[in-house]
Amino acid sequence: MMMETPANGRPPGPRDDPWDMALQQFHLAAEHLRLKRGVREVLSHPQREFKVNFPVEMDDGSVRVFAGYRVLHSTVLGPTKGGLRYSPLVRISEVRALAMWMTWKCALTHLPYGGAKGGVACDPSLLSSGELERLTRRYATELAPLSGDRRDIPAPDVGTNAQVMAWFMDTYSMHHGFSVPSVVTGKPVSIGGSAGRQEATGRGVMITAREAAEVRGIAFVGSRVAVQGFGNVGSTAAHLMHAAGCRIVAVSDVRGGIYSPGGLDPAAVRRHIDATGSIEGFPGADAVSNAELLEVPCEFLVPAAIEGQITGANASRIRAQVIVEGANGPTTPDADRILDDRGILVVPDVVANAGGVIVSYFEWVQDLQSYFWSEEEINAHLERLMVHTFRRVLAFSREQHVSLRTGALIFAVKRVSDALLTRGVYP
Ligand code: NAD
């Protein structure tokens, strides 16, 4: 199997381990809250971890065994919510961290969910559609003891999409003998998905960037934007920021990126990818590596690929004024300290990319009620919640003299720990 290299071009070091990062961030918030030891202990462990090794018949008749995971970090505030990732880099430490970050994101945005995440170690670009479908259906079957619209509700993440969610939902429904659209979100609209879900995360990134521009006194129109990862989140953010008048100076995918100080048209980049299968070779732009893209001069840097990209090794060379974290965990704690010292504003993942889970929540509510809202209604509710969350975190962080990340986590951890203490320790 082809292995992807990390986008910043170097293997992750121990300090960049995602679970270690998530714990460091959590303990910082726990210190501020003077959280009781027992509560701290509970929240620094995932509640449930599931590892499965399952066979898939490949197109050539051979059988391969894949490793899949699902981690439920906390069910204190409700059923768990979080994406499914298909990537060669999937490992337990990554899934654990992503599950914990989902707990904080849901708590911060007042959604009635705990956090979860799942993944299969595979390279979906090397699988046929039939292989991907069989892998998804078998993985969904392996997760059956956990899944359910009142238990654990997956959504798309890196390497998965609405079609994967449709196979997951269909498999679950076949086993139950009736259709259960609410068991996943991010489905196609034709089978109970929500208008606006596909664009929701990128739309939220655009909204928080616009809010951050106001705070920083940056003219949003004409501002320069570099986007790492031109997938669902990154490409939507690029399209919407371009439509809002920003200049998209650089974009990338897993293979590398392009840079054009005069600005790129994201729609033309999309057409080029559709025609050639890659961002590489886009006419009129210079080739850059993913590592170089992070360091181009711009007002907004939007990491929208994977975690651990902005580290202690490159944070001093970042030239953006604001980092808007479309990805989960793109900035390590070492880098956070450097960026803070340099006065670079970091809009953390739990705020910047919350649009996805917010509209997933809208989708779940619509499915449970079998009553669907218009795209205008969805986008208006999303806008209101994103702006409210950003401003609340900003005000609280200023009051506490902490970064937006620590402020957001203090807020979220407090909500979860209060609920934990109210519910008590069973038995
Ligand atoms: P995607 O699979 O649609 O796109 C991922 C992009 O990143 C692609 O361009 C891919 O080529 C690139 N990429 C993948 N691996 C890479 C690597 N090792 N180095 C550099 N680039 C790489 O995924 P997505 O759904 O857009 O998710 C991107 C990020 O946003 C992830 O961190 C995910 O957890 C986060 N996120 C996604 C959602 C959502 O609704 N999809 C919601 C919240 C957060």
Among 226, 184, 274, 211, residue whose Cα is nearest residue 404: 211
Residue pLDDT tens, the chain, 427 long? 233 334 443 444 445 799 999 999 999 999 999 999 999 999 999 999 999 999 999 999 999 999 999 999 999 999 999 999 999 999 999 999 999 999 999 999 999 999 999 999 999 999 999 999 999 999 999 999 999 999 999 999 999 999 999 999 999 999 999 999 999 999 999 999 999 999 999 999 999 999 999 999 999 999 999 999 999 999 999 999 999 999 999 999 999 999 999 999 999 999 999 999 999 999 999 999 999 999 999 999 999 999 999 999 999 999 999 999 999 999 999 999 999 999 999 999 999 999 999 999 999 999 999 999 999 999 999 999 999 999 999 999 999 999 999 999 999 999 999 999 999 999 9
Q: What is the pTM of this model?
A: 0.96
Phi, then psi, of 288 in degrees rounded to 5: -135, 155
From 21, 81, 232, 272, mutation site for ligand 1 pocket: most ligand atoms within 8 A of C-beta = 232
Distance 229 CA to ligand 1 centre (A): 6
CA–CA separation, 246 and 243 (whole Å): 7
Summarize pLDDT for 357-389 with one digit per residue, the tens. Answer: 999 999 999 999 999 999 999 999 999 999 999
Q: Return the number of other C-beta atoms located less than 10 Å from residue 289's C-beta.
A: 15
Q: Which atom of ligand 1 is nearest to the CA of 157?
A: 25
Residue from 157, 227, 364 to probe ligand 1 pocket by mutation (most atoms less than 8 Å from CB): 157
Considering only CA atoms, which residue is closest to atom 18 of ligand 1?
6
Give the closest residue (by CA) to ligand 1 atom 28. 305
Q: How many CB atoms lie within 10 A of CB 293?
A: 27
Both tokens of residue 143?
């997760």
Which numbered atom of ligand 1 lies nearest the CA of 234? 26
| CA distances for 337 relative to 20, 90, 395, angstroms | 16, 27, 20
Q: Which of 81, 379, 361, 391 is nearest to 202 (CA)?
A: 379
Three-state DSSP state, 302: strand
Q: What pLDDT does residue 4 have?
A: 36
Alpha-carbon distance 304 to 373, whole Å? 28
- The pLDDT of residue 107 is 98
**Measured on CA atoms in the order 290, 249, 87, 20, is the torsion positive or negative?**
positive
Which domains occur in the chain, in start order? 46-181 (3.40.50.10860), 199-352 (3.40.50.720)
Read off φ and ψ for residue 251, nearest 5 degrees: -140, 160
In this structure, which residue's CA is closest to atom 36 in ligand 1? 327
Give residue 348 CA to ligand 1 midpoint distance, Å.
16
Minimum-distance ligand 1 atom for the alpha carbon of 307: 32
Distance from the CA of 34 to the center of ligand 1, in angstroms? 35
Nearest CA to ligand 1 atom 35: 327
Which residue reads 């928080």 in tokens?
208
The protein residue with its alpha carbon nearest to ligand 1, atom 19, reads 7
Q: How far is CA 238 from CA 214, 243, 255, 266, 267, in A?
A: 19, 8, 18, 6, 9
125 alpha carbon – ligand 1 mean position (Å): 14
- Pairing label, strands 48-57, 63-72: antiparallel
Q: Which residues are catalytic?
A: 117
Nearest to 313, CA basis, from 291, 343, 298: 291
Segment 387-396, tens digit of pLDDT:
999 999 999 9
User: In the structure, which protein residues have their CB atom closer than 6 angstroms to any atom of ligand 1?
Assistant: 4, 6-7, 156-159, 201, 229-234, 253-254, 290, 304-306, 326-328, 353, 356
Report whether 98 contacts 329 (CB < 8 A): yes
Atom 40 of ligand 1 has which residue's CA nearest to it? 356
**What's the CA-to-centroid distance between 395 and ligand 1, angstroms?**
29
Rounded CA-CA distance 413/427 in Å is 23
Q: Please give the full DSSP string across 192-248, using - where no structure is assigned.
A: TPPTTHHHHHHHHHHHHHHHHHHHHT--STT-EEEEE--SHHHHHHHHHHHHTT-EE
Residue 5 confidence (pLDDT): 37
- Find how far residue 425's CA is from the centre of its chain: 31
CA–CA separation, 115 and 101 (whole Å): 7
Q: Of 233, 258, 386, which is best to mutate to test ligand 1, by the most ligand atoms within 8 angstroms of its C-beta? A: 233
Sequence-ordered strand ranges (E) for 14-143: 48-57, 63-72, 80-87, 114-121
CA 199 to ligand 1 center in whole angstroms: 13
Spatial neighbors of 204 by CB under 8 A, at least 6 apart, are 352, 353, 354, 355, 356, 358, 382, 386
CA dihedral 271, 276, 279, 285 (to 10 degrees): -80
